[in-house]
Amino acid sequence: MNDNRQPDIHSEVQRYYGETLETTDDLKTTACCTAAAPSDYVKELLAGVHAEVSARYYGCGLVLPEALAGLRILDLGCGAGRDVYVLSRLVGPAGRVVGVDMTPEQLEVAKRHRAWHADAYGYDQSNVEFIEGNIERLDETDLDDGAFDLIVSNCVINLAVDKAAVLRSAYRLLSPGGEMYFSDIYADRRIPAELMNDPVLYGECLSGAMYWNDFERLAIECGFSDPRLVENESVEITDPAIQTLLGDVRFQSATYRLFRADGLEAGQENYGQMATYLGGIAEHPDNLRLDAQLTFVRGQQTPVSGNTAQIITSTRFSDYFEIIGDESEHLGAFNDNSEASFFAAPAQQPTGGSCC
């Protein structure tokens, strides 16, 4: 894709999200909705967000990982700020959340309610900041390398033309042991070139979606050695005209977590290590799901690969686990089925979901 297309794509995205879409009801697909019904805990958090901010939400999942108190968080493509304000509440007054977006209309809504949320959360002052900028050109902002413990993004990277630039900047802006946790739309094949010029398909987060296998390779090239799929669900195309244009291409919304952790290997290797979740993370007292393949039960020893042990010990999760064993003896490949394609699995069934 040549540089001559980039300004046109960016302008169309700004127009679509700044002018065409006024609320989530204007969307033509479920790409910006999640089929899973939010938990009572999440419902309570969402209910605490200003109504105008919530009405301008266009994400495709929930970017609420665990153990957030006191973290420095960056939200890429924050829009009107719904996720920023939810995260603001979870990090507490000692934490900080920065949102970046290139759509002035969205940012105007977000900035308008900073004081309202600080007052609602009982903070002496707001712990959020909003910056107008293109997530493909984060080097043009004044954000410092290693300034963030966590980077989130909600159905935005698919809208980027230069996705590698986004991931490279995310890696640079994360502190060692930091994490990128984000939801986005992926395709089961590479999108035909003629579809990528359609402004509605692009704005609906479809024609800019990456083939999932290409995404994982790109993430590894940008420094995130062991991409972890957390959850996924099928995207329903409800508009007949869009269905016709897309033909047989299938889409899923998926949440990934990428860690900036040193020493990760290309494959999952077995060193006989065991991990035990000790509890202590709010809202996850009895179990903790690291990814789609691995859920830890408190107090129960669980075999883990060398990469998983390294991720746990070098990130904010280290305080909540006990690891037994080291990498002194290699026992071969660790068989955890982590390389299975989520497109090959049966589609998850919606259970009373919504657009959050």
Domain regions of the chain by residue span: 3-259, 273-324
Strand-pairing partners, residue 275, are: 302, 323
pLDDT tens for each residue of the chain, 356 residues long: 344 444 465 555 455 444 444 445 555 555 555 545 678 899 999 999 999 999 988 777 789 999 999 999 999 999 999 999 999 999 999 999 999 999 999 999 999 999 999 999 999 999 999 999 999 999 999 999 999 999 999 999 999 999 999 999 999 999 999 999 999 999 999 999 889 888 888 888 899 999 999 999 999 999 999 999 999 999 989 889 999 999 999 999 999 999 999 999 999 999 999 999 999 998 999 999 999 999 999 999 999 999 999 999 999 999 999 999 999 999 999 985 544 444 554 444 444 443 43
- The CATH architecture one would assign to domain 3-259 is 3-Layer(aba) Sandwich (3.40)
State the Cα–Cα distance between residues 122 and 92, nearest whole angstrom.
10
State the Cα–Cα distance between residues 23 and 16, nearest whole angstrom.
11
3-state secondary structure of 294: strand
Chain-centroid distance, C-alpha 80: 16
Which has the closest alpha carbon to 107: 118, 99, 97, 115?
99
Please state which CATH number belongs to domain 273-324. 3.40.5.100
Q: What is the pTM of this model?
A: 0.88
Give the C-alpha distances (Å, rounded to integers) separating 267 from 212, 227, 250, 334: 18, 11, 28, 8
Taking every pair of Cα atoms in the chain, the longest distance, rounded to a whole number of angstroms, is 59
State the Cα–Cα distance between residues 115 and 127, nearest whole angstrom.
10
Q: DSSP assignment of 310-326, as one string? A: HHHHHSGGGGGEEEE--
